[in-house]
């Protein structure tokens, strides 16, 4: 049965799918998986609270010990159940089974999407913020940087990290990022923009 997404859900989903979330097609309808490391429970709980009208419960995952390090990896995850309203996201994010940036959906990318994107995939590098966009093509990431500049006046550059593109947001835009995202970024993630 179809459950329509609210504007907030669409904005958070867009930021999440540009970050760590995965969307898949099951028979006719798409479903989404959110997963965060065990030290990011606050973030998975924040997302769950936004989507709890259409999601499975949060689950703790414990992986087999890593053969090389012996470390046991834990994570938290939940799913958005398959839903026709998610198909537009799947169809726009996946072209020929390859994940790509859906430029025709970026009119829905807001300050909340940006905050979600940074919480998912942002990291600090000195006074800059890096968006880990390695799963996308160089030209797409370059165009996404142009989009951020046009929409929010955020200055950024594409760099290569192990031959994959990452987007570095200039230190000169750090205060602007804080201003745009401050009311959305949860307490435990503030270190990414402070």
**pLDDT for position 61:** 93
Give, in degrees to the nearest 5, the angle at Cα 35 between 31 and 36.
160
Helix or strand or coil: residue 134?
Answer: coil
Q: Output phi, psi for 173, to 5 deg.
A: -100, 5
Tens of each residue's pLDDT in the chain, 194 residues: 799 999 999 999 999 999 989 999 988 999 999 999 989 999 999 999 999 999 999 999 998 777 788 788 899 999 999 999 999 999 999 988 889 999 999 999 999 999 999 999 999 988 899 999 999 999 999 999 999 999 999 999 999 989 999 999 999 999 999 999 999 999 999 999 98
Question: What whole-number distance in Å separates Cα of residue 149 and Cα of residue 89?
Answer: 24
Q: Read off the pTM.
A: 0.93
What number of other Cβ atoms are within 10 A of residue 46's Cβ? 19
**pLDDT for position 96:** 82
Taking each helix axis as running N to C, give the angle between helix 111-121 and helix 174-181, from 0 to 180 degrees, rounded to the nearest 10.
110
Task: Give me the DSSP letters along 102-126.
Answer: -GGGGGG--HHHHHHHHHHHEEEET
**pLDDT for position 73:** 85
**pLDDT for position 71:** 82
**pLDDT for position 123:** 93
Instruction: Give the closest residue to 155 by CA, choosing from 167, 173, 176.
Output: 173
Question: What whole-number distance in Å separates Cα of residue 116 and Cα of residue 25?
Answer: 23
**pLDDT for position 26:** 84
Distances (CA, A) of 138 to 98, 100, 163: 14, 11, 10
**pLDDT for position 67:** 78
């Amino acid at each position: 049965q179809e459950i329509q997404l609210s504007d907030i859900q669409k904005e958070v989903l867009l930021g999440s799918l540009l970050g760590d979330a995965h969307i898949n097609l099951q028979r006719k309808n798409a479903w989404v998986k959110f997963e965060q490391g065990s030290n990011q429970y606050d973030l998975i709980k924040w997302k769950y609270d936004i989507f709890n009208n259409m999601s499975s419960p949060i689950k703790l995952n414990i992986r087999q010990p890593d053969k090389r390090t012996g470390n046991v990896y834990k994570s938290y995850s939940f799913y958005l159940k398959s839903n026709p309203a998610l198909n537009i996201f799947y169809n726009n994010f996946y072209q020929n089974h390859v994940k790509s940036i859906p430029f025709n959906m970026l009119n829905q990318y807001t300050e909340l999407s940006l905050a979600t994107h940074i919480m998912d995939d942002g990291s600090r590098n000195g006074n800059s913020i890096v968006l880990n966009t390695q799963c996308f093509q160089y030209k797409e990431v370059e165009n996404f940087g142009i989009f951020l500049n046009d929409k929010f006046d955020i200055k950024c550059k594409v760099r290569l990290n192990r031959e994959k593109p990452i987007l570095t947001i200039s230190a000169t835009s750090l205060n602007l990022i804080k201003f745009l995202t401050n009311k959305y970024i949860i307490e435990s993630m503030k270190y990414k923009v402070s």
